[in-house]
Structure 1
Amino acid sequence: MNIAIFTESYAPSTGFVPSESFLLAQSYRQLEHRATVVTCDPKCKKIEARRTVVKVPGKPAPNQYGFAPSKNRKADQAELFSALEAYEFDLVHVFSCGKMAVHGMQFANRFDLPLVLSISDFYEDAIPYLTSTKLLEPWAAFRQKARFRDIADYADMITSTNKKAGDYLASAGIKRKLSLIPIHADPERFSRQNADPDQVNAVKMKYHLTDKTVAVFAGRLLYEKGVDILLQRWASHLKLERGLRLLIVGTGPEKAALQQLSKSLNLDKQVIFTGEVMNKDMPAYYAASDLFVSASETPLMSMAVCEALLAGLPCIVSDKSRPAGQLEHGKNGFYFSSSNELTDYVRRIASLDYNGKEALHRMVRNTVEGVSKDAQAQAMLSLYKKAKRLHYYDPQRLEAAKRNGQIGH
């Protein structure tokens, strides 16, 4: 099968979408399929079409990704589609409802290709980045919802790693079945035993983490990630714990505000903002930490939780988030509903000595030992086959699409 993956951001950026698209494309090729990622890059001045990646010019943008396609005229889209036509794709896979997803949907429409949509976040999460005034937020919400509905209505199959996405579809008025596919990361790359000792020590030395209990959060610094809530809870219950450090790995539009909040809460000595860290360096940061923590209540997908578990880190996350995958309360992590619970779980881990923490890391890693980086790709390939059958062999949908002018007769 020959697959086109449309994504707003891609490796070496960190976050769910770039990590997920990179891993899927890599696994498809290892399974002897063809996969090309179509993305935007602020460093590009013109379309760059290579064998495995096609990049369109990007520009900095106040959105979840930090950038977006810089050209959106019909002529620019025609140039992109002309470059993509030569690849002879069998299917298009898009993530959420950014501008690249719109390009993917329209490309699938133009060439009558099956379309698969992966829901990786809520469309409402983009609203604060689309307008700087509360007055225009209803307009921004209407626009984002309309875009999401357009893509979801056209998609042959819709997938997510979290069943919350099904409720989300229903609330948006989209009566479609959701296909759940568990999230996976590369178990070998994130194994604690495989981390480069020199890189791990370099991280510990750089941020003065030696002999400290380190809680790590990794991800884009967006308001919906709940890092502000995490800081406030940390300040109210854990600020006096001298042996604790909170390592916040990543960057994003909320970084400056979060740094200011940390300072106002007098957390300067406990909370460390690393800034952007390339995906290839993340194993060392996980290996330099003792646990993963997040107060986010909304994300549908969390690659960081999956990666942290593979690195042997017990994960402490909000019970309102419930990231899909292998996290099991009391076995390899905890769900908390209050600051007191968060504090209790963190202190339990901090109270362990070196040998106790190492034993905990091995136990957590053992709970995900059966994870295969190709498992998600194989499940997705099965879904692609269903999408192709539905797209081409459902007479009712085919006729409806023809009447609506979505595909040619």
Structure 2
Amino acid sequence: MRILLCTETYFPILNGIVTFVEMLAKEWTSQGHHVLIVAPDHTARRHSISHGVLHCPAVKSEQLLVDLSLPIDPVRYHKVRAFKPDVVHIQAEWGISLFGLKTAQYLKIPLVYTLHTEYSKFFTYAVKPFMIPWATSTFAHIERYIAKHATIITSPSKKGQHYFDALGTKVHVEVIQNSVELDDFDPALFSDEDKRKLRDSLGIGAHQKCALFVGRMGPEKSVDILLDYWAESVRAEHNLRLVLIGGGPEDDDLRTRATELGLESQVIFCGKIPHAQIGLYYAICDFYVTASLSEMHSVAMLEGLGSGLPVIQRLDPLNADQLQEGVNGYFFTSAQEFGGHLLSLNALGVQELLEMKRKVRQSVLQTNSPQALAHKYLVQYQKAIDSYGNQ
């Protein structure tokens, strides 16, 4: 199959969508399929194809954290037409994705559209407060337009269906959960010596257990709730540490909040960590915790599960199927529940915790692997091709 993947972000930018696109392209190429990734690149002066990526001239947007490219370009279209794709798969609603939509229409081939993110929740980063209602309305119009013309729509969460229902758009959304490169998060990859050195550098004692959160230090991630619930639940004698990885607009405020709560000795702010190094941080921790309700399906949480970390997750009813409660994690709705799960896990003996970590990692090896993701999307592409041919 010849697959055109249109994305608004690609390396060196790193986020969940970049990981998603790279995993699919790598897996399909290894299976003999032909893949061309179309991506904006603010460093590109002309359109060029290198290592399976069509780099498109773009303008860098600091507010949106993406490179913005025009949705119509004859040079780009000529190069894509020469590739002769069987299907177009778009990942967002900006310039390159709109180009993908138009390309599918011109070439008379099916369009698959994945709703990865509810972008309306992030407009506080991109526009002034008085413009948010206008931006939300305009963006909803674009999303309705794309949904109307897509052959198949997918999302990693049931939130996708709920989102389009709320927009008044009568479409069906296929739920395909995210995946990660689980091999990169195998705790066996890291030596005891490397783990000891990192723990020492962070001031974590040999017998202290650690809870980890990885994500943007922004309001949508609700790290303030983690701090508040931790302060209500954990005492010094519990010998626990909370490790926070990530940067963002609330970083300073959260550090101040931790100090006000008297958590200076219990909470470790690591700042941004290069993704190539982050597997070791998962490996030195024992649990993964999150209070965020903004994700469709958290890639960082999946990386935690792939590292064998049982997850303590704030309950989001539409995402309740993303954990097997009691097998690889627990849900909480209050500080009492959060603390109860955390302290129960903390009370496990060394061998009990090792066995639970083994089961946690095993729980995602088959369902959330790159191979599983690639297979599920190939099934959707074939459905789209068959459906489009019958129209």
Change (3 A) 1:91 1:273: farther
Give the percent of matched residue pairs that are identical in Structure 1 and Structure 2. 27
How many positions carry a matched residue from both structures?
A: 388
Alignment map for 1:150-229 (pairs within 5 Å): 150-195=145-190, 197=192, 199-211=194-206, 212-229=208-225
Change (3 A) 1:163 1:256: same
Query: CA separation in 2, counterparts of 1:50 and 1:276?
Result: 29
1:397 is matched with: none
State whether residues 213 and 243 of structure 1, in contact with CA within 8 Å, keep that contact through their aligned partners in structure 2: yes
Alignment partner of 2:19: what SS? helix
Q: 1:95 aligns with which of 79, 85, 91?
A: 91
CA distances 1:200-238 after superposition (whole Å, capped 9, x unpaired): 344323322342211111233443222232223223333
Alignment map for 1:8-23 (pairs within 5 Å): 8-11=8-11, 13-23=13-23
The offset of 1:312, in angstroms, is 0.7
Alignment-mate amino acid for residue 24 of structure 1: L
Unaligned ranges ≥5, structure 2? none
Change (3 A) 1:105 1:346: same
The offset of 1:340, in angstroms, is 0.9
Query: CA separation in 1, counterparts of 2:201 and 2:322?
Result: 32
CA distances 1:25-51 after superposition (whole Å, capped 9, x unpaired): 111112211222222345545544213
The offset of 1:170, in angstroms, is 0.8
State whether residues 105 and 115 of structure 1, in contact with CA within 8 Å, keep that contact through their aligned partners in structure 2: yes
Unaligned ranges ≥5, structure 1? 395-409
State whether residues 366 and 372 of structure 2, in contact with CA within 8 Å, keep that contact through their aligned partners in structure 1: no
CA RMSD of aligned residues (A): 2.6
Change (3 A) 1:311 1:352: same
CA distances 1:118-151 after superposition (whole Å, capped 9, x unpaired): 1112132232123122x22110111111121121
Change (3 A) 1:99 1:275: farther
Query: CA separation in 2, counterparts of 1:291 and 1:31?
Result: 35
Alignment-mate amino acid for residue 378 of structure 1: H
TM-score (norm 2): 0.89
Alignment partner of 1:128: what SS? helix
Alignment of 1:148 with 2:143, yes or no, is yes
The offset of 1:374, in angstroms, is 0.6
Question: Comparing 292-301 with 48-57, which one deviates more in the overlay?
Answer: 48-57
Alignment map for 1:57-136 (pairs within 5 Å): 57-63=58-64, 66-69=65-68, 71-72=69-70, 77-133=73-129, 135-136=130-131
Change (3 A) 1:144 1:267: farther
State whether residues 184 and 325 of structure 1, in contact with CA within 8 Å, keep that contact through their aligned partners in structure 2: no
Q: 1:382 aligns with which of 360, 376, 379?
A: 379
Alignment map for 1:234-273 (pairs within 5 Å): 234-238=230-234, 240=236, 243-273=239-269
Change (3 A) 1:246 1:175: same
The offset of 1:329, in angstroms, is 0.8
TM-score (norm 1): 0.85
Query: CA separation in 1, counterparts of 2:106 and 2:216?
Result: 33
CA distances 1:80-125 after superposition (whole Å, capped 9, x unpaired): 3344333222211112334432332233334333211111121322
State whether residues 105 and 151 of structure 1, in contact with CA within 8 Å, keep that contact through their aligned partners in structure 2: yes
1:399 is matched with: none
Change (3 A) 1:289 1:36: farther
1:288 is matched with: 284
Q: 1:333 aligns with which of 326, 329, 333?
A: 329
The offset of 1:364, in angstroms, is 1.7
CA distances 1:46-87 after superposition (whole Å, capped 9, x unpaired): 544213223334514223xx2332x4385xx33433443332
1:373 is matched with: 370
Change (3 A) 1:335 1:380: same
The offset of 1:241, in angstroms, is 5.7
2:295 is matched with: 299
